[in-house]
Amino acid sequence: MGAADPFILRNMVSADLDSVLMLENAIFPTPWSRDSFEAELEKTYSVALTAEREGRVIGYGIAWLIADEIHIANVAVHPEFRGTGIGRAIVERLLASGDGSCGAFLEVRVHNDPAIRLYKKLGFREIGVRKQYYQAEQEDALLMRKDFR
């Protein structure tokens, strides 16, 4: 599968949740619950997207638009489709959803080198470490910021 393979980025809907949860549970050691995703679909300040290819959910992202900032809360791409530009497209669309925002924040596992490289390519910079942010795994998170102004 290559970057030229077509995929659609669209708003996440309830009908996507089974597929999103399958990905979430396969990718993350401490996955979000169905209730968490359902809540995101209801929040007025939440942007929830899915990447779909041939009717199959292959990625998703969630961001919160709070005051004049964007907080990227969750991004995932099916392992089969990593490195094809889908993660980049999801993050770029999440960033574009915060029209008028002064910047964006995110946390990423300190050992997630592919994601850190992507975020740096998109203009994020490291601004700190959140100790044991991922409590169940006792893993630190790298705090990153991108300024728009």
pTM exceeding 0.85:
yes
Q: Residue 149: is its pLDDT beyond 80?
A: no
Active site residues: 107, 119
SS (H, E, C) the chain: CCCCCCCEEEECCHHHHHHHHHHHHHHCCCCCCHHHHHHHHHCCCEEEEEEEECCEEEEEEEEEEECCEEEEEEEEECHHHCCCCHHHHHHHHHHHCCCCCCEEEEEEECCCHHHHHHHHHCCCEEEEEEEEEEHHHCEEEEEEEEECC
Render pLDDT for 41-75 as a digit per residue (tens, 0 to 9): 999 999 999 999 999 999 999 999 999 999 999 99
pLDDT at 1: 46
Match 């990447």 to its residue by tokens.
51
Render pLDDT for 101-117 as a digit per residue (tens, 0 to 9): 999 999 999 999 999 99
CB 103: neighbour CB atoms within 10 A? Answer: 16
Domains present along the chain, CATH in parentheses: 8-147 (3.40.630.30)
Q: Residue 10: is its pLDDT beyond 90?
A: yes
